[in-house]
């Protein structure tokens, strides 16, 4: 799903996905504007008006082998690659967070970002509500938190800092907030402390990447440590290796983080060589 204005950015993504007959992209939906080859959201909605299913379709799914998402990496350290995300990863995360029920959450992370896609699955599975944003303007976010009583806020550090710097925490009533989840960059410690002190909320600064979401995260109320991304999550192993020798290093030593476990993707679509270069024979992914 995308907009007509931005569609040209995704045409190469469709070509990448269509090269594999096991994972064809069958439908592209545009939320605004029109395109000769693809349908708009309004057309899709009109087609379904007055139509009912005799029963909810059942699909047999193998959580290990069947893919739920195809998401392209950001390309920070090379050309973007199409990550194959099996149902297994989403199910693991739902199981891990299933204790939280019925919260109203803000989805500011983009849907093309692993954090955004996972956030939707987690909230829907818990019976919660999702407030969608088409604008990451800080004041618009603050107004919406007050208007809808948003309880959990997934947000990038830069936008959260704007909420503080622009005085929006005092201008609007954000007392409904119970938790803030952040990732993608280091969260400014002073900014995080402002949220914690004012709202006594849970602050969760996670660490992960498209290939492994999440690797670590989740600290309880009163456990915030600046620069700390929480503990390595259940089902995940992590180590730090020497960049030259590849040997494991001890605590408090700089090196490359390697990870393996239940949240590792199945590979890169149509690019097995790149995946083989990223994962060693023991299943360790080099970040």
Note whether 134 and 222 are same-domain residues. yes
- Total domains in the chain come to 2
Q: Is residue 287 part of a domain?
A: no
3-state secondary structure at position 188: coil
**Is residue 10 scored above 90 in pLDDT?**
no
Model confidence at 21, in pLDDT bands (50, 70, 90)? very low
Note whether 108 and 44 are same-domain residues. no
Owning domain of residue 26: 1-58
Model confidence at 7, in pLDDT bands (50, 70, 90)? low
Query: Contact, 259 vs 285, CB < 8 A?
Result: yes
**Is residue 12 scored above 70 in pLDDT?**
no
φ/ψ of residue 123, rounded to 5: -70, -45
Q: What are 163-216's pLDDT values in tens digits?
A: 999 999 999 999 999 999 888 888 899 999 999 999 999 888 888 889 998 888
Q: Report the pLDDT value the prediction gives residue 9, as an integer from 0 to 100.
A: 56
Note whether 50 and 92 are same-domain residues. no
Average pLDDT over residues 149-155: 93
Q: Report the pLDDT value the prediction gives residue 23, as an integer from 0 to 100.
A: 47
**Is residue 93 scored above 60 in pLDDT?**
yes
**Is residue 88 scored above 50 in pLDDT?**
yes
Note whether 196 and 164 are same-domain residues. yes
Model confidence at 16, in pLDDT bands (50, 70, 90)? low
Whether omega before 214 lies within 30 degrees of 0, making that bond cis, reads yes
Whole-structure pTM value: 0.81
Would you state the structure tokens that stand for residue 251, as one six-digit string?
A: 């605590």
- Average the pLDDT over each of 21-30, 77-86, 96-105 and give the range with the smallest value: 21-30
Q: Is residue 279 part of a domain?
A: no
The domain boundary, picked from 39, 58, 77, lies at 58
Note whether 14 and 97 are same-domain residues. no
**Is residue 110 scored above 70 in pLDDT?**
yes
Rounded CA gap, 170 and 192, in Å?
16
Angstrom CA distances, 278 to 8, 90, 138, 191, 260, stand at: 29, 22, 37, 35, 11
Model confidence at 246, in pLDDT bands (50, 70, 90)? very high
């Amino acid at each position: 799903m995308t907009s007509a204005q931005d569609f040209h950015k995704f045409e190469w993504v469709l070509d990448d996905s269509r090269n594999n007959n096991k994972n064809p992209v069958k439908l592209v939906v545009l939320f605004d504007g029109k395109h000769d080859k693809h349908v708009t959201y309004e057309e899709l909605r009109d087609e379904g008006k007055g139509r009912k299913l005799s029963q909810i379709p059942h699909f047999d799914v193998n959580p290990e082998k069947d893919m739920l998402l195809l998401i392209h990496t950001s390309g920070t350290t090379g050309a973007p690659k199409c990550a194959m995300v099996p149902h297994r990863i989403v199910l693991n995360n739902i199981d891990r967070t299933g204790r939280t029920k019925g919260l109203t959450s803000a989805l500011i992370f983009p849907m093309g970002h692993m954090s955004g896609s996972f956030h939707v699955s987690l909230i829907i599975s818990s019976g919660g509500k999702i407030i969608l944003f088409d604008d990451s303007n800080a004041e618009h976010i603050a107004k919406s938190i007050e208007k809808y009583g948003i309880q959990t806020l997934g947000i990038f550090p830069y936008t959260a800092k704007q909420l503080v710097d622009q005085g929006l925490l005092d201008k609007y009533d954000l007392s409904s907030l119970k938790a803030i989840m952040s990732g993608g960059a280091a969260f400014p410690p002073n900014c995080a402390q402002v949220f914690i002190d004012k709202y006594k909320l849970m602050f969760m600064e996670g660490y992960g990447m498209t290939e492994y979401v999440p690797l670590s995260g989740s600290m309880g109320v009163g456990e915030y440590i600046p620069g700390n991304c929480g503990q390595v999550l259940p089902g995940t192993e992590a180590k730090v290796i020497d960049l030259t020798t590849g040997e494991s290093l001890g605590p408090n030593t700089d090196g490359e983080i390697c990870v393996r476990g239940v949240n590792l993707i199945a590979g890169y679509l149509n690019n097995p060589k790149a995946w083989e270069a990223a994962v060693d024979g023991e299943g360790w992914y080099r970040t």
